[in-house]
Chains A and B, each alone.
Chain A
Amino acid sequence: MLIDTGIAPGTGPRLLTPRHAGRESLAEYRRLGGYSTAGWAHSLPDLLDLVEASGLRGRGGAGFPAGRKWRSVAAEPGLRVVLVNGAESEPASRKDHWLLTHRPHLVIEGALLGARAVGASEIVFYLHTVAQEARAAIEAAWRELAAERRSLPRRRIVVAPPGYVAGEQSAAIQRANGKKALPTFKPPRAHQQGVGGRPTLVHNVETLANVPFIARQGADAFRSVGIPTAPGTMLLTLSGAVRRPGVYEVPSGVQLAHVLDELGGGTVDGGPIQAVLPGGYFAGWLNGAALHGGVALSAESLRDHGVELGSGAITVVSDGVCGLAQAVALLHFFARESARQCGPCAFGTPAMAAALERLARGRAEDNDVPRLRRYAEVVLPGRGACSHLDGATIAARTALHVFAEEIAQHARYGGCGRPERVVLPGLEDDDAQRAA
Chain B
Amino acid sequence: MSATFDRKIEATLADSRLQLAIYKATGRLMSHRKTAVDSAVLPEYQELRTQANAIKRHTIENLDWFLEEFERNVLAHGGHVHWCRTATEVADVVLGIAKRREASLIVKSKSMTTEEIDLNERLEHHGLESVETDLGEYIIQLKHERPYHIVAPALHLTRYDVAHVFEEKLGVANETEIENQTMIARRVLRDKFLRADIGISGANFLIADSGAVVLVENEGNARLTTSAPKVHIAVAGMEKLIPRAQDLATFLKLLGRSGTGQALTVYTSFLSGPRREGEVDGPEEFHVVLLDAGRTKLLADPDKRQSLYCIRCGACLNHCPVYRKIGGHSFPWVYSGPIGAIITPQFHGVQSEPGLPFASSLCGACAEVCPVKIDIPKILLELRAEVKAEEKHHAINQAERAAFRMFAYVASRPRLWQRATKLAARFGPRGQGYVKKVPGFMNVGPVRAWLSQRDLPAPAEKSFREMWKERQGR
Q: Do A and B bind each other?
A: no
Question: CB within 8 Å of A: which residues of B?
Answer: none
